[in-house]
Amino acid sequence: MKFSRVVFCDFGEEPRVAERLKTKVLPACTREFYGTITTEDTFVSVLEKFAPEVSASLLPIIFDRQMTLKEGIRQTIGSISSSYYPEIIGRIAHRAIRPRLKEFADFLNNLDVPLVVISGGLIDIVKAVLQEQQLLDRITAIHAAKVDTTGKLLQVSSVFEGDTELVAKVKAMAKYPAVEKITIGDSVRDINMALVADLVFARDRLVGYLDAEKKSYIQWQDFFEIRDRLATNWEVNV
């Protein structure tokens, strides 16, 4: 099935690693987080809480693109005891989401435009937050990494694993052929997804990455901004 339009949205946040390095503060001691769907720390906060030493060592390297996302996430998650997993999910479920996501999802649903969440994090975390916010039924599909808790340490896997990404977002996007592919993102995890999109909404660090790649984008802060821009482009009422 080919869609006329599909919206792909990242789920996650990104710390200001550069500021942390300047102040020489361990990641766990700061709260400078920005997200696409979430407004508070989610996946990165899990790494900082349950694998503080590994996170402090690897996160700056990952965000500076000196280590692949796949290797960095696998090493960090793989250092966390499986016994902590229920606590991890419990800590995340009540995180706040970015305002007006529900209204944005309803706007797309009313137009039969699929809203697909693709995350470089863990699928259980994504589902926990969306379920708490009563948003699961508004999302067409969720693609993220799965966790195996049967061993002593957590192990992650993904059906969309790529050469450098644990969740290769472009591979996930390929499941939804469309005339117009729209992506919404904020971080290093969203670069490849943005590069193949027809229309990109970017914020925070993703803006700098796309400038370096000479890829056009629209900056955003609020889901109403995205909704209104799409409504204008598609010539529909909100």
What CATH number does residue 105 fall under? 3.40.50.1000
Contact, 210 vs 191, CB < 8 A? yes
Alpha-helical runs (H) found in the chain: 17-23, 43-50, 52-63, 69-77, 85-92, 101-110, 123-132, 169-173, 191-195, 205-213, 223-234
**Assessment of whether the complete model's pTM goes beyond 0.75:** yes
Q: Output DSSP code: residue 187.
A: S
Range of the domain at 120: 1-238
Residue type, 212: A
Structurally, the chain folds into a number of domains equal to: 1
Q: CA neighbours within 13 Å on the CB side: how many for 164?
A: 11
Per residue of the chain (238 residues), give pLDDT as tens. Answer: 778 899 998 876 443 333 333 333 322 111 222 346 665 546 677 788 899 999 899 888 887 888 988 998 899 999 999 999 999 998 888 877 778 899 999 999 999 999 999 988 889 988 988 998 899 999 999 999 999 999 999 999 999 999 988 999 999 999 999 999 999 998 888 899 999 999 999 998 899 999 999 999 999 988 999 999 999 999 999 8
Q: Output DSSP code: residue 44.
A: H
Classify each residue of 216-225 as buried b or exposed e, where b means 16 or more C-beta atoms within 10 Å of its C-beta.
ebeebeebee
